[in-house]
Amino acid sequence: MTIGDWLAGRTPAPPDALARRVRELLAADLSRDAAGAHQACEAAAEALLERLLAGRETGRETALDLLAVDALVTYAFEHAASQGDLDAEAAGAMQRIAALGARFAAGAPA
């Protein structure tokens, strides 16, 4: 099973626009083995969040991207839980995301 297959099996299915955006963000990973789904989802979420924060883009115009970050983190945790890795994955992801927020809140250059 690929990451693309795994995503297609998520229920309930997300709205079409969100599903398309998530697949766009994971495009390079969709054909990889689903065993790496939580790492791929987490990496894509972190990369997008970093771009949004660096550009100070967190208004209504970025709502779809912010929802995509949320969906990707949710998928990462869902997959990690199914593999028995939730505690370690969640702790690491939360630390990295919090560090991003702190870095940009402290006025890191955009």
Residues forming a β-bridge with 75: none
Do residues 19 and 75 touch, judged by C-beta distance below 8 A? no
Residue 74 class from Cβ within 10 Å (0-12 exposed, 13-18 middle, 19+ buried)? middle
Helix 37-54 vs helix 63-82: crossing angle, to nearest 10: 150
Confidence class for position 59, pLDDT limits 50, 70, 90? confident
Q: What is the percent of the chain with per-residue pLDDT over 90, rounded to a whole number?
A: 65
Cα–Cα distance measured from residue 58 to residue 43, given in angstroms and rounded to the nearest whole number: 19
Mean pLDDT of 84-92: 81
Q: Percent of the chain scored above 70 by pLDDT?
A: 95
d(CA 31, CA 45): 18
Q: What is the pTM of this model?
A: 0.86
